[in-house]
Chains A and B, each alone.
Chain A
Amino acid sequence: MFGFGNEYEGLAFWLPLIWAGLIAVAVAMYVIVDGFDLGVGILFKAAHSENWRDRMMFSVAPIWDGNETWLILGGGGLFAVFHIAYAVLMPALYVPIILMLIALIFRGVAFEFRFKSERSKFLWDNAFFFGSLLATFFQGMVLGSFVQGFSNDGRQFTGGTFDFLTPFSVVTGISLICGYGLLGATWCVMKTTGELEIWARRMAVRFLIATIVAMAIVSLWVPFLGRQIEMRWFTWPNIAFLAPIPLITAYVAYRLFRDLDEGRHYRPFFLTIALFLLGYLGLGVSLFPYNVPPNLTIWDTANTVNSQLFALVGFAIVLPITFAYTAYAYYVFRGKVAEEIQGGGYGYH
């Protein structure tokens, strides 16, 4: 019962493409939604008062758990349909992944512990800040090492423990801190009021400048990694099709500056998302169809057709529902966070 044949030639071509698209969406969702709540953590230490920190944390407390679930889907999804990629990438990224997970533990429990503590509150303020900062940094390193590529024999990783650690991956780590900081700041602009909002605007401008500089450095560096990525961008006719990507990026960044200055509430956040998606698109163009650069494609690493189909049936049915109720959860907590938060907190706390 419920066996799908492996005999369809066409499916063996199309399914990995569909799945690559779906997992790209999951990763993009993760980067955006956990990006802003990690970003709130990155700004956390700089906040001027206890009340500000309470309000910042409240703005993400009801939704952070769902945001982080996209990370599990990223890992789980890779295991589900590109198990070879999962098997090669995870050992190759052993150190940054474990460190990212540990950082996420600290910031995750801070949500619960901070509101339950009095004397030890500073501990969880720090856990939230450093956890967010380091989780972001190691995610950026993972991204950087991904672009660099991994030595493998087609089934398993064959490189060393510290292959991931290069000047390039350190720079991508720092870049992601700038980017998530910008997401967090524009989120705070959207979700808070008063002095805190005005401060968030100032922070957003600073992080925007940092993000633009970081994007420029990374974009210029990539061609020197010797992976012939520049061939894809700078040859005719590709250049005609791809030139709009950096141009639109520049325009979005300009619009974002103006919006922050003009006092818009919502749009800076969504423009930041657009900025992220453009960067992400650029990355996709550079790497496709490799999901274990430099040599394994999505077809090399995919599961059997039967396995991919089984997972796809579930995703086709369940994912729209997931989007619907996740959107509903956001809708329930729409609006700005109130300025007075009493005592040790509210809600169920």
Chain B
Amino acid sequence: MELDALMLSRIQFAFTIAFHIIFPAFTIGLASWLAALEFNWLRTGNPLYRNLFRFWVKVFAVSFGLGVVSGIVMSYQFGTNWSRFSEYTGNVLGPVIAYEVITAFFLEAAFLGIMLFGWERVGDRLHFFATCMVALGTLISAFWILSANSWMQTPDGFAIENGKAVPVDWFKVVFNPSFPLRYAHMVLGCYITTAFAVAGMSAWMLLRHPHDAPEAKLAASRRSLSMALWFAAIFVPVQIVIGDLHGLGVLKYQPTKLAAIEGNWDRMSNMPLRLFAIPDEEAETNHYEIGIPKIGSWVLTHAFDGEVPGLKEVPREDRPPVWPVFFSFRIMVGIGFAMLGIGLWSLYLRYKGTLFTNRTFLTATMIMTPSGFGAVLFGWFTAEIGRQPFVVYGLLRTADAVSPVSAGAVTASLLTFFVVYAFVFGFGSYYLAKLLRRGPDPVEDIRGDDLSKKPKRPFSVPDEGLEGRPGHRPQPVR
């Protein structure tokens, strides 16, 4: 592996986007979770929901902040490190990215301020509206960026002119073949990630304080655990079905990627479901293969004798690196089935009435706290490494997409990103851990009518005079 500007740029992009994706994956789910909590608070008036909201909104704020700052880096890296990609795809992907900025980022940012700081200033209903707008913003943002990503996987609606992609049909560009299912798969993945994070943290709280914590805190933890596990029990199976359908799309549009996922070297029907193997790219075969006969074909084609393409059908230089794709996929699926197990277990314990007291179950749920992040990351490794050696599948090789920058410059920026991200995100995790450790404290009522008498609001009353009399030194407003 030669460390030239290309390889270094790839490492830098992989590193910065892998860090970045963790936060949107969390905040997409958290924003909707917050909207659900606030909706329940307005509907029932039960302070428990408000306490939960005030707790999770802090977690949201830290995660969102980290997502924003790591995201700005992404929007410039297309140009700094991948300018030939920008030149090749700009006519098509440029507007798609711009739509994300104007339809989603501004919406999130404007209403985030109101959601975090504005409850006293706008009233309950408008605050709830702001929370919903933030949640909507995260979903719109995911829509456009996944559309752009999907176009790189399954480009459509374009023509090639002067060696560049130009748009022909925008509907086909945006709704390219792999987009709808990828969007569903990712958004649901984010929701499930959040569900397991919420469930895990709630279980942790119940495990640490079976009796000694204030009852309001424990009640809040039980409620959030229960809500999150209902979500997981219902939607993890749905996600597995969507994932399977998404896989059919990969088979149809990206056969080489699929062959790498399956570790399948020769086109075959009756392909086994390979649970484990060590793919050998030199010898073009697998070692230590463990599989269930015929099931692989059945999963992919829904027929036991369905044909599955093989890696050997394309020249070596057109194949992705096999083992990272092969293993990433298996780790993602493994995590998915562990989640399914937790969901089913929770249903059984609910039936028995021991959901909040079974310590083995609570411990298992706690261990599963970061599982969603793992599934999201390994899912993306599968999708993005599986697309190699192309950056736009079948059209533009990654090697032809890199900027004319020097290896020295990229080495320096890459090392800087390592250090800065380790420092900043290290502290981020530390503060998040501190927050989560404290758990959902009961909040004193902030909605009382005596609000105007409380001195601690950061902003003064709106109708206060601001201008001094003309010609006079201002009297500081007190």
Contacts and interface: CB of A to CB of B under 8 A. Distances in A.
Interface string A176-200: 0000000000000010011101100
Interface string A88-114: 111101110110011011101101110
A156 B116 contact: no
Interface in B292-332: none
Interface in B143-168: 161, 166-168
A72 B103 CA distance: 12
Q: Which of B62, B101, B457 has the most CB of A within 10 A?
A: B101
B320 to A, nearest CB: 26
Q: Which of B81, B413, B474 has the most CB of A within 10 A?
A: B474
Interface string A62-77: 1101101101110111
B76 A90 contact: yes
B101 A76 contact: yes
A66 B83 contact: no
Contact of A76 (B75, B406, B455, B458): B75
A84 B90 contact: yes
Interface stretch (B53-61, B283-291, B362-370): B53-61
A307 B72 contact: no
A93 B409 CA distance: 11
Contact of B431 (A1, A62, A105, A113): A113
Nearest to A111: B65
B168 A3 contact: yes
Interface in B436-478: 455-462, 464, 466-468, 470-474, 476-478
A155 B88 CA distance: 10
A8 interface: no
A329 B110 contact: yes
B249 to A, nearest CB: 21
A335 B462 contact: yes
B458 A109 contact: no
Contacts, number: 317
A206 interface: no
Contact of B114 (A193, A266, A332, A337): A332
B409 A161 contact: yes
B267 interface: no
A62 B118 contact: yes
A75 B117 contact: no
18 contacts: A61-B116, A62-B116, A66-B110, A79-B97, A83-B91, A84-B90, A112-B428, A157-B404, A193-B478, A265-B468, A304-B91, A304-B167, A325-B107, A333-B459, A336-B459, A336-B466, A338-B456, A346-B457
Interface of B: 54, 57-58, 61-62, 65-66, 68-73, 75-76, 78-81, 83-84, 86-87, 90-95, 97-103, 105-114, 116-118, 121-122, 133, 161, 166-172, 403-406, 408-409, 413, 416-417, 420, 424, 427-428, 431, 434-435, 455-462, 464, 466-468, 470-474, 476-478
Q: Return the 9 tightest CB-CB contacts between A and B, nearest first.
A: A83-B90, A90-B79, A80-B98, A62-B113, A66-B109, A194-B476, A311-B95, A80-B94, A108-B69
Interface of A: 1-4, 6, 55, 58, 61-63, 65-66, 68-69, 71-73, 75-81, 83-84, 86-91, 93-95, 97-98, 101-102, 104-106, 108-109, 111-113, 116-117, 120, 123, 155-158, 160-161, 190, 193-195, 197-198, 262-266, 303-304, 306-307, 310-311, 314-315, 318-319, 322, 325-326, 328-329, 332-342, 346-349
Given A91-B405, A113-B431, A339-B478, 13 more contacts: A58-B459, A69-B101, A71-B72, A73-B102, A116-B435, A158-B404, A161-B405, A314-B98, A332-B121, A334-B459, A334-B462, A337-B458, A347-B116
